[in-house]
Structure 1
Amino acid sequence: MLLLAGTSSTSQLCPPPGVSEGRCIELKADGTNEVSEVQLSPGQPTTFSFDSDVREDGLTLENREHFKVAPGKRLITLVPSESVRGEKPSILMVCFADGAAPACATFRLIVHPAIGERQVEIFRHQRSVDSVQTELKTTREEIARLREEIARLRAERDRPDGLTGLFVSGMVGKAGIPSQEITDLVTMRKSNTLGLVGVTTLRAPGRAAIGLDLQNPEGAKPWTPQGAVLVGPKGEVLEATFWPAEPIPSGEQRRIWIEVMAPDSQTEGPFILKLWEADGQRTFVIGNVIFPALTVEPGL
């Protein structure tokens, strides 16, 4: 995380407009760079200045016969010949020697009969290949998780609503959904910034839910939930959703529902519930959260 933060593509490398002469182009580390257009003119040199060494074999230029080329490690100068007039734009690709991302840069060379850019500076938001691969792995995992969530939502959409839908989904058996009042059983942290009025837990096959009645003290700032997790007896963490995501005003009481989706064996507990607010400064933590047992075969 620190590595990714330290190479953020939001930091600016080009100087402010008017500070330096010529054109400045920044290359993003995420590989989403567009092909930059650079305007050249016959007989006039245009110099590309890079902040990283270019590979000796890393220069590719379309229609090279129409250009004088002076290659270097960090400076590449192009002079279009008169024969380039009327030709289609040429593509210049430059690849870097350090193996970091972005590995290459691509430019579309536009020829103007009279006006050309004399100097173009190129700066890279440089990242290591390992850093890029780590981010790609994380992104793929997140995409897989979202696909599973979409599949679940589609499956639920295909079921009927209301009580019928609960039975068809298998969440309700003949004994209904077992619930348990555990207000007197849970433990509270002294650092909690909310008062606890009541706790109810519910359980269904593959799901567990907690109903929290919370009190925001008089004079306190509004408390807006942002995230919640359940931590199991072996340190396992179950990601939780919550509803509603509305602030609890000062001096008022609200009920917040927290739900997890997990195999029945993972909801045995006891758990520690951690709930935090939007700015991350204030938390609410209770321990010894248990769910009622599933004693009857679900469904019909």
Structure 2
Amino acid sequence: MNGSSAFIVLVSGVLWAATAQAAALDTPGTGTAVRRIDVQAGMLVTPPEVRISPGLSTTLFFDARIRPEQLVLEGRERFQRFGVTEDHLVVVPSSTFREGERLRLEVRFHDGAVPDRAVVVLVVDAARAERQIELYRHARSAASYRQEVEELRAGMVRLERQVQQLQRSRTGAEYTREMLVAELRDTGIVHSRSWVPRKVAGDVAAARVEFVRLSPRWAALRLRPAKAGAWSGWSAVGATLTDVHGKRLKTLPPWQEGPVAADGSQPVIIIVDEPEAADHGRYTLELWDEGRKRTLKLEGLQAP
């Protein structure tokens, strides 16, 4: 991929990030308190969590009509009770759910306005059920869209300049997706978020793991080594990204500019060809060098 193609990919990623899945901004609640979740267009953040408990009902009210026939709920058949209309949803989890289990819930709105859907994650918590949730959708005005277009244009100009600078620094070299992810710095425009592991094991350590999405069709993990001697000269030759159910996401082999330097400045890039799946849930990332002499395992990776 040359520099111009890379810029086109970036532009499509920016446009996608501005119009894709609606974001939910929330403040967690507990017990019998009524909690409000606001859904807004044009933002990409981690879906809010709603606590549910086996044997107790949780009701979600919507201020805009939804399409019951298009509702998607993971593990729907395992709920003790499930009821949905155009303005509310009631669920009663059964005892088959495990503590801490996470279930993605997606609803689509009826009128076709923006945002056209909302996503929340139901988390099984026997001690802390949220009994009533009120979800409010904020439609976008024409003025806000015009402002967003201007911001996107300004962002594209900055990205074009950055790509041109990268081209000049690599005259005559083929520019790949991995190189682009490794060298991009403008995370204010690129959709990028940190992934935090719950457990780290192996012979080497990572200072930072980022999930970078530049296109609806692909994303990448950017892993920055910790400044430790164990990394020096290390080159990853294999990697797996596995979800909590044991399913491996489709990834390309890890890429590096060269073996990790002593100061840990060389990032490791892993292209993910299933960005929709990787956007949600918890994952385990494993990396290894030739002969598996030195390995890295990050368990429970997810956005904070």
Whether TM exceeds 0.5 here: the answer is: no
Higher relative contact order (CA 8 A, sep 6+): 2
TM-score range for the pair, normalised by the shorter chain length: 0.3 to 0.5
TM-score of the aligned structures, taking structure 2 as reference length: 0.40
TM-score of the aligned structures, taking structure 1 as reference length: 0.40
Question: If you compute each CA radius of gyration, which structure gives the higher value, 1 or 2?
Answer: 1
